[in-house]
A and B are shown apart, each in its own frame.
Chain A
Amino acid sequence: MRLALILGLGGVLLAQAGLAEELPGDPEAGRKKAGQCRTCHGLNGFAQIPIAPHIGGENPLYIVHQLTAFRDGTREHEMMSVVAKALDDQSIADLAAWFSSQSVTATLPAGATEDMAPEACVGCHGADGIALIEDAPNLAGENVVYIETQLKAFRTGKRVNDTMTGIAAELSDADMNAAADWYAAIKLDIPPVK
């Protein structure tokens, strides 16, 4: 069990420039704006529906990149493309600050050890599904179908990422099943928001 506490103090350590990621995000302002997210993602970022990922405790930069991509049309989803179109850079920074300020705990299931984690994934997403680099999402507790859908989207080119496009191209369906099974079985906890 490992406790990952990621502080959402806005964009530091930025490699690539983008408007929203240069803006400091305000978690409290983000909380107010998160009303439009909570039906699917939960106010604390713990997903309420299977097609939505958990985003509480995510790295702020990852959230900024994804929301910006949905807004710009470089990533598409029939719901997120609608929502993101209405977000300005400050709102994106605030939402990223709010969700990333949630503390998350990932717990491996009984009998599992970190060396059983899928090799191709652990370098960035961690054995317990808590990301080790800034621009990767946490995978702990995401459901099997969500993870497989994303992997297949990278393989077919529907979703594009410098790292994931190459990795997914090498994965068979069985590899994807196994990776999804591993991360889906990890228990993710995010304390409720008061």
Chain B
Amino acid sequence: MRYLLSSIAALALSTGLAQAQAQTDVPDNLEKLSAFQTTGVTDFTFVEQGGDYAEGIKKNLERIKMPPGFKIELYAVVPDARHMAVGPQGIVTFVGTRKDKVWSVTDRNKDRVADEVKDFAPSLRFSIPNGPCFSKDGFLYIAEQNRVLLFPAAEFFYESPDVAAFNLVKQGDLIPPEEESFNHTARVCKIGPDGKIYISLGQPFNVAPPEKLDLYSKVGIGGMIRMNLDGTGREVYTYGIRNSVGHDFHPVTGELWFTDNQVDGMGDDIPPGELNRQTAMGQNFGHPWYGGGDVRTNEYAGQEVPVDVVMPAVEMVAHAADLGMTFYTGNMFPEKYKNAIFSAQHGSWNRTTPVGARVMVTFIDDEGNATSEPFAEGWIDENGEYLGRPVDVAQLRDGSILVSDDLAGALYRISYEGN
């Protein structure tokens, strides 16, 4: 990470094993921040925005192909950039990672390029804080491996290292701690039209084993849970998901749509990836009996499927790794993009010839039929090497969209200039 200008090198280092023992009274600073106390942490880590690294990214963006009239530019250098939450005031965008940081990205002078990228709430110890999301009234939620924190008025308080923070779901309560894993643990949250928070919980296996299924159904692992914004009323909303890393609600119907990553090791061209549409609470989307689409898994081959399964709205190319998505509600793009889905394909990891690493657009007709096509592509070079791996798509208030990339460590902005 040579592009990190670290101002807190000493912080992480002052803790040897012995010293850490003394800190166990306060496992992290959440208690202090919940009581609006200061923690003594004063330094931010700032990410350099210019220089050779940014130039290299800009050069790669010249290869990206999009429909006529669209333009893609580097918006910010953000290490390990995963899912994004754009503040309702349009001041700051929060970006999660699969490591231990959340980044705040600010465009102060509104030239549509970020001026400042620094870590959010540096006195807190995050663990896989992949999924930030905002409520309409400016509460920031961050879904981690096994906790969900909420930050009131984060868009205004993030300038201070000490920002008021509270548990929505306290450490160890999102899933049983013995079920924790690193893979398939990039959680995504969004607030639904019903004012509840919807959180995806991937199951950690390639194919979930039979002995886990009862527990998973109960907790909502391999599914999606929802709860009220005060943490009450938790319930499992969706079943039969393998590993969903992106969801959003249709702006008109309010229905939940989500991507799901499908089973590996069955061949280069099966099973298909999925974009799903859920029309009622409690629907089951087929894992582990189905590996993707109507392809049955080897592990459950021939077994009777004990549930009614909803098949995907769109079958995506196999192994492309469909991740973050957003419905487009802006006014900048041509009319046909209104209420379309923009979604990111991270790209395959062990397919013989890599596929994905692009932004897809999905159009939904009046009857609810959906068709997907590539929107922005070119992040796989002629050697089959990744120049970038898109993760999530979010809409800015001006109607342009941001795309995050956790390989390049960047946010891109796609705007429409017209004919």
Binding site for B on A (CB under 8 A): 35-36, 38-40, 48-51, 77-79, 81-83, 85, 109-112, 116-120, 143-146, 148-149, 152, 156, 172-175, 177-179, 181-182, 184-185
Chain B residues near A78 (CB-CB < 8 A): 183-184, 204-206, 264
Q: Is the CB of B349 within 8 A of A39?
A: yes
Contact pattern, B 172-192, Cβ under 8 Å of A = 1, otherwise 0: 000000101111100000000
Stretch in B6-14, B85-93, B227-235, B323-331 touching the partner: B6-14
Q: Are A156 and B15 in contact (CB under 8 A)?
A: no
Q: Residue-by-residue, is B181-217 near A (CB-CB < 8 Å gives 1, otherwise 0)?
A: 1111000000000000000000011100000000000
Q: Report Cα–Cα, A50/B27, bound state, in Å.
A: 24
Interface window among B95-103, B282-290, B301-309, B361-369: B95-103
Structural contact, B183 and A51, CB atoms closer than 8 A: yes
**Nearest B residue (CB) for A83:** B350
Known contacts A51-B182, A109-B12; 7 further A-B pairs (Cβ under 8 A): A36-B350, A39-B349, A85-B265, A110-B9, A119-B16, A144-B99, A146-B182
Instruction: Tell me whether B13 and A116 are in contact (CB under 8 A).
Output: yes
**Hey, which chain B residues are within 8 Å of A40, CB to CB?**
349
B80 to A50, Cβ gap below 8 A? yes
Q: Are A177 and B125 in contact (CB under 8 A)?
A: yes
- State whether A82 and B350 are in contact (beta carbons under 8 Å apart), knowing that A77-B183, A178-B16 are contacts in the complex: yes
Q: How far is the CA of A111 from the CA of B9 in the complex (A)?
A: 8
The distance from the CB of B348 to the nearest CB of chain A, in whole angstroms, is: 8
Contact of B239 with A by CB under 8 A: no
Residues of A within 8 A of B348 (CB): 39
A51 to B386, CA, bound (A): 17
Contact yes or no, A117 B16, CB < 8 A: yes
Bound-state CA distance A143–B349 (Å) is: 20
* B residues 12-69 in Cβ contact with A at 8 Å: 12-13, 15-21, 23-24, 27
B78 nearest CB across to chain A (Å): 14
- Report yes or no: A143 in contact with B99, Cβ–Cβ below 8 A: yes
- Whether B21 lies near A175 (C-beta < 8 A) is yes
Residues A174 and B12 in contact in the complex (CB < 8 Å), given A39-B347, A82-B350: no
| Contact bitstring B232-270, A, C-beta under 8 A = 1, else 0 | 000000000000000000000000000000001100000
Partner of A109, one of B13, B21, B125, B178: B13
A174–B350 CB distance below 8 A? no
Across the interface, do A144 and B17 meet the contact criterion of CB distance under 8 Å?
Answer: no
B121 lies within 8 A of chain A by Cβ: no
Complex Cα distance A172/B347, Å? 37
Q: How many A-B residue pairs have CB under 8 A?
A: 113
Q: How far is the CA of A143 from the CA of B12 in the complex (A)?
A: 12
Residues of B within 8 Å of A145, CB to CB, are 98-100, 127-128, 145, 182
Q: Nearest 4 A-B pairs (CB), nearest first?
A: A178-B20, A82-B265, A50-B98, A78-B206
Tell whether, in the assembled complex, residue A174 and residue B16 are in contact, meaning their CB atoms are under 8 Å apart. Answer: no
The one of B16, B98, B386 in contact with A118, judged by C-beta atoms closer than 8 angstroms, is: B16
22 contacts between A and B (CB under 8 A): A39-B349, A48-B386, A48-B407, A49-B98, A49-B407, A50-B182, A82-B350, A110-B9, A111-B13, A116-B16, A118-B17, A119-B16, A143-B100, A145-B100, A145-B128, A145-B182, A152-B180, A174-B20, A178-B15, A178-B16, A182-B13, A184-B12
**Chain A residues with CB below 8 A from B9, complex form:** 109-112, 185
- Asked if B406 is an interface residue, CB under 8 A from chain A, the answer is yes
Instruction: Choose among A77, A82, A156, A185 the residue that contacts B12 (Cβ–Cβ < 8 A).
Output: A185
Contact with A along B346-389 (1 / 0, CB 8 A): 01111000100000000000000000000000000000111000
Provide the bound-state CA to CA distance between A50 and B100, in Å: 10
Q: Which residue of B lies closest to A78 (CB)?
A: B206
- How many Å lie between the Cα of A134 and that of B204 in the bound state? 30
Q: Which residues of A contact B15 (CB under 8 A)?
A: 177-178, 181-182
- Distance of B176 from chain A, by nearest CB (Å): 11
Measured between beta carbons, the chain B residues less than 8 angstroms from A182 are 12-13, 15-16
- Chain B residues within 8 Å of A178, by CB: 15-17, 19-20
With contacts A79-B349, A156-B178 taken as known, whether A181 is within 8 angstroms of B13 at the C-beta atoms is: yes
Cα A31 to Cα B24 in complex, Å, equals: 45
For A39, what are the chain B residues with a Cβ–Cβ distance below 8 Å?
347-350, 354, 386
Q: Which residue of B lies closest to A173 (CB)?
A: B27
The chain A residue with its CB closest to the CB of B354 is A39
CA distance in complex: A78, B262 (Å): 12
Closest Cβ of chain B to A79, distance in Å, is 7
Assembled-state Cα–Cα distance A81/B183 (Å): 13
Chain A nearest CB from B114 CB (Å) reads 22
Indicate if the CB atoms of A79 and B27 lie closer than 8 Å: no
Expressed in whole angstroms, the minimum distance between the Cβ of A34 and any Cβ of chain B is 12
The contact of B13 among A83, A146, A185, by CB within 8 Å, is A185
